[in-house]
Amino acid sequence: MAISSRAFKDAIYDQLARIGKAVASPRRLELLDLLCQAPRTVEELARRSGQSTANASHHLQVLRAARLVETEKQGPFVRYSLADERVCEFYLSLRTLAGSRLAEVERVTREYLESRGTMEAIDRSTLLERVHTGRVTVIDVRPVEEYEAGHIPGALCVPLEELEARLVEIPSSGEVVAYCRGPYCVLAVKAVLMLRKNGFTAVRLEDGVPDWHRRGLEVTTGREP
């Protein structure tokens, strides 16, 4: 028996809704954001997102059921990664849409940044020009595994938790630009505050590596020489 047009449309939209249901959770969106940076184990994802391993595992299973993430067994651990690059593209598009349509996103962001005196941010074109002329030092304050999975060429790997102990490695002349996972990541904000407290001229870059890659700009993997 041939399927009716109505049944066909209902079936298709039902499948599309599976994606909507899978991402209808702040925690699951944060996990996708983290996985846009680099693959990780359940334990690492739980720690980075501030939730229990059990809760993180549950959310990851929902994402996996919607075919948004994949798993790989590594000894006693299960390592999660995005199913493909289109999942990260979907997340970035959702983030951009929310930022443009929901005033609350802008308000909450502004309140957070204004309370810390770090509203100003350098844009990517200005950063590129200053990097090419050697007028700025760029530091990636994400965890090492994220840096190695992809970073802005020439950026120094200085995870936030190591920054204070490694300030002597950062040139004190010129400007320092810190970046992390994107416009709503707080690691770069904390890094800028610490750098300014120690006498550096510092600003943050709103773009994360996925944003950089999305715009066709070069991304490097591994360690810098």
- 166: domain range? 109-214
Domain boundary among 30, 54, 88: 88
Same domain, 36 and 67: yes
Does some domain include residue 97?
no
**What's the CA dihedral at 96, 126, 208, 218 to 10 degrees?**
110
Does some domain include residue 159?
yes
Same domain, 208 and 157: yes
* Catalytic residue annotation: 180
Same domain, 194 and 130: yes
Query: How much is the pTM?
Result: 0.91
Same domain, 79 and 122: no
Does some domain include residue 67?
yes
Find the CATH number of the domain harbouring 24.
1.10.10.10
First-residue to last-residue Cα distance in the chain: 65
φ/ψ of 155, rounded to 5, equals: -70, 140
Same domain, 132 and 69: no
Tally of domains in the chain: 2
Same domain, 62 and 122: no
Does some domain include residue 164?
yes
φ/ψ of 96, rounded to 5, equals: -65, -45
- 8 A C-beta contact, residue 84 and residue 51: no
Find the CATH number of the domain harbouring 197.
3.40.250.10
Same domain, 134 and 204: yes
pLDDT in tens, the chain (225 residues): 788 999 999 999 999 999 999 999 999 999 999 999 999 999 999 999 999 999 999 999 999 999 999 999 888 889 999 999 999 999 999 999 999 999 999 999 999 988 888 777 887 888 888 877 778 899 999 999 999 999 999 899 999 999 999 999 998 888 999 999 999 999 999 999 999 999 999 999 999 999 999 988 889 998 876
Does some domain include residue 127?
yes
- Strand positions, DSSP E, 61-174: 69-74, 77-82, 121-122, 136-140, 156-157
